[in-house]
Structure 1
Amino acid sequence: MAKMNVKLQDLQDLYVEQLRDLYSAENQIDRALPLMAEAATDPDLKQSFLDHQVQTQEQIGRLEGIFQTLGQDPGGHTCKAMQGIVAEGEDMIQERAASAVKDAGLIASAQRIEHYEITGYGTVATYADVLGLDEQASILRTTLEEERQTDERLTLAAQQINVEAAES
């Protein structure tokens, strides 16, 4: 039988651990977005990646504020899921493909990132609600809404780029 992990004794512990996961993920994304922007050929897609990097840096700042309020260190955790998603995005960056096909692949990679973030922020916002951390829940929902908007922006870009990719 597996030994119980006593590090996570209650929902507060899980909340902090999930915040650390998102903090790690956001920092990985912050490093990946300029590479994705550089690899993109569609000017709107390129700008979308650059805009999202600025937003990602704001989101990192929000998380750091939450950690400060909690009296916790944001470090010490690596988001392994985001490592894998980013690695797949890096593979797409290196792929030899027609421009529109590569852009379509970059969008797919970016949407995987967004969907992970949407899930993560939805979860921690709910935990914050249950824990009575209303201000933190509101901050987390702001980020959640930004992630949803980014996903929608990528979907709109994909509608055009996917057609171009099919024609190439």
Structure 2
Amino acid sequence: DLKAAFEKHREETKEHVARLEQVFEVIGKKPQGKTCAAIVGLTDEGAEIMEEYKGTPALDAGLLAAAQAVEHYEISRYGTLKTWASELGLDEAVSLLNLTLGEEKATDEALTQLAEPAVNMAAENV
């Protein structure tokens, strides 16, 4: 169920933030919040999908597609950070980032399983 998947990922995201804080401790830096233009753009796209397809069978397919776009971005970023940490010999950071990367990939796969075939087929005629 789509709502349950989103709620589960919201809870995982709290763990991801905690792990990132640990990574910052490992590298001796203070974490700082920063707006990410890419995520803002993806979020705006999701809002447009919600507006355009509200009340239609295509809404769930659109939300899944938007969520997967965010997941793919996160997978890319966590993968890059893990590689950099590895190249710098920061084994603890690698381990922490690898945990989050695995969870992001699992979420992406779960969203794919939700989308195929039922949700995408329901949206086909919209």
- Fold equivalence (TM over 0.5): yes
Determine the C-alpha separation between the residues in 2 that align with 1:99 and 1:143: 34
Pick the structure with greater CA Rg. Answer: 1
Unaligned runs of 5+ in 1: 1-43
Contact 2:26–2:93, Cα closer than 8 Å, also in 1: no
Once residues 77 and 166 of structure 1 are traced to their aligned partners in structure 2, the CA distance between those partners, rounded to angstroms, is 38
Q: Which structure 2 segments of 5+ residues have no match?
A: none
1:156 aligns with 2:116: no
Aligned residue pairs total 125
CA separation of 1:76 and 1:161: change in aligned 2, threshold 3 A: closer
Query: Out of 28, 47, 57, which is 1:71 matched to?
Result: 28
After TM superposition, give the deviation of residue 167 of structure 1 in Å. 4.6
What is the TM-score with the length of structure 1 in the denominator? 0.70
Specify the SS of the correspondent of 1:136. Answer: helix
The match for 1:136 is 93
* Cα deviations by residue, 1:100-143 (Å, 9 ceiling, x for unpaired): 20010000100000000111111110101000001110110111
Classify the secondary structure of the residue corresponding to 1:73: coil
Mapping of residues 88-107 of structure 1, within 5 Å:
88-107=45-64
Q: Quick one: percent identity of the two aligned structures?
A: 46
Where in structure 1 do 4 or more consecutive aligned residues deviate above 6 Å? Answer: none
Match of 1:61 among 4, 18, 42: 18
Q: What is the letter of the counterpart of residue 107 of structure 1?
A: L
Q: Secondary structure at the match of 2:124?
A: helix
For residues 101 and 66 of structure 1, what CA distance do their matches in structure 2 show?
A: 39
Report the alpha carbon displacement of residue 76 of structure 1 after superposing the two structures with TM.
5.0
* Residue 45 (structure 1) aligns with: 2
Q: Which has the higher contact order (CA 8 A, sep 6+)?
A: 2
Shift of 1:152: 0.5
Q: 1:80-91 to 2 correspondence within 5 Å?
A: 80-91=37-48
User: Normalization by structure 2: what TM-score?
Assistant: 0.91
